[in-house]
Amino acid sequence: MVSRGDIGDLILGANGQPNARQREFFASRARYTAYGGARGGGKSWALRRKLVAMCLRWPGLRAMLVRRSYGELKGNHLGPMLEEYGAVCRWGEGEKTLFFPEGSRIRFAYCDGEGDVLRYQGQEYDIIAIDEATQLSEMQFAAFRACLRGTSDRPRRMYLTCNPGGIGHAWVKRLFVDRDFRVGENPQDYRFIPAQVYDNRALLNADPDYVRQLESLPQRLRDAWLHGRWDVFEGQFFPEFCTERHICRALSPPADWRCFAALDYGFDMLAVLLFAVDYDGGLWVLREHCQSGLSLGEAGRAIVGFLGEEGGRVEYIAASPDLWNRRQDSGRSGVEILSAVERMPPLLRADNRRVAGWRVVREYLAKSEGGMHIASTCTTLISSLSALRFDPVRTEDAADHPHEITHAPEALRYGVMSCLPAPTREEFSFASAERLHYWH
């Protein structure tokens, strides 16, 4: 076994000394450590050294280095690793693996599409490093996380580098930045180490023009790439959305405000939003309920329970048009199943035009008066709106991947498309049930 002192001399002597943030990364013992934020923070440099150090420290260590494509792995990591550590490791092209003394190894693994993770099912690794983790979906991350297991006394850890943006922006932000954990996720397992280019003195000294290039970017790119802000990124579908401007404290609407709701249903997620409209036409999202794994009957009971005492004030619920289709298993439509639940408000077939609907949402977000207000307790909607990206083909539409972040925004779109023009106080009224065409 190589001593800790020998490892330190080898790793730190290879190409400069680590900065303070990189030292934090090296020292982390959390099961899942994410290192990132701004560009130019020295993340890849630190990730390579951490993997090599652990392979030299732990005989027989099984490590895997993941990136979206094999070409990126070879260009960003294999070349530098062989140049710096070729004296202590051997590359096996057939196995796509770096071999170290005493049996340790680093496998190079790519994951360009959802199906690529299948080749790694059933495999066991002690250390898994994911470079540019925001380029992977949450499903891909979960599949690799399932490979982190074994019976030896070696450490079991995942190391991630990340920048704002990309298909995995939402799950990385949820776990490591917002620390919004779900059932079964232990907060003590997750650690985030922020990095900015200003931490990387080696880069600042070698290429001062790089920082000036970042500083000259348009504001949103500058905020994400230079300052590492996770609430803005290139490709964000709603750049108008601003937490300082649109988020408000939770409130109960005045008795003379009229209320309605909207829902998007799938077995993977039920998303229900409760709305109110004020006298200036301002739209208030008062509460949300998001839950997965519900049958339609269970979803109906969850909706009624969510609305609670305010359910009697709800004029209607705008719902996805596919709920009007009859189901093969029961011969009944989703609307019939939901409407059979006691105290269910009338269901309105939502206007499902995507581009037109997103434009209306955008108009509400852009208004200085009579715009949109979202209660701070609507955490799923807030995080989803922040993470929603442009469709790469149909640029006026929102992307439908990652799918888990689309449900609450879909419900929001149904809700805003169901609104009437802003009424005056004297004329404050919704359309009658006959005009809403609940059952057509």
Over residues 143-189, the pLDDT tens digits come to: 999 999 998 999 999 999 998 888 888 899 999 999 989 889 999 99
Q: Where are the domains of the chain?
A: 4-225, 243-436
Distance (Å, whole) CA 69 – CA 336? 47
User: Taking the CB of residue 247, how many other CB atoms lie within 10 A of it?
Assistant: 16
CATH of 4-225, one of 3.40.50.1100, 3.10.290.20, 3.30.870.10, 3.40.50.300: 3.40.50.300
- Over residues 383-394, the mean pLDDT reads 89
Asked if pLDDT for residue 23 goes beyond 80, the answer is yes
Provide CATH code, domain 243-436. 3.30.420.280
Query: Chain-wide mean pLDDT for the chain?
Result: 86
Range from 67-76, 166-175, 413-422 carrying the lowest mean pLDDT: 413-422
CA distances from 132 to 36, 39, 248 (A): 9, 11, 33
Regarding predicted confidence, which is higher, 426 or 41?
41
Asked if pLDDT for residue 435 goes beyond 60, the answer is no
**Which residues are paired to 289 by β-bridges?**
272
What pLDDT is recorded for position 16? 65
- Over residues 391-419, the mean pLDDT reads 92
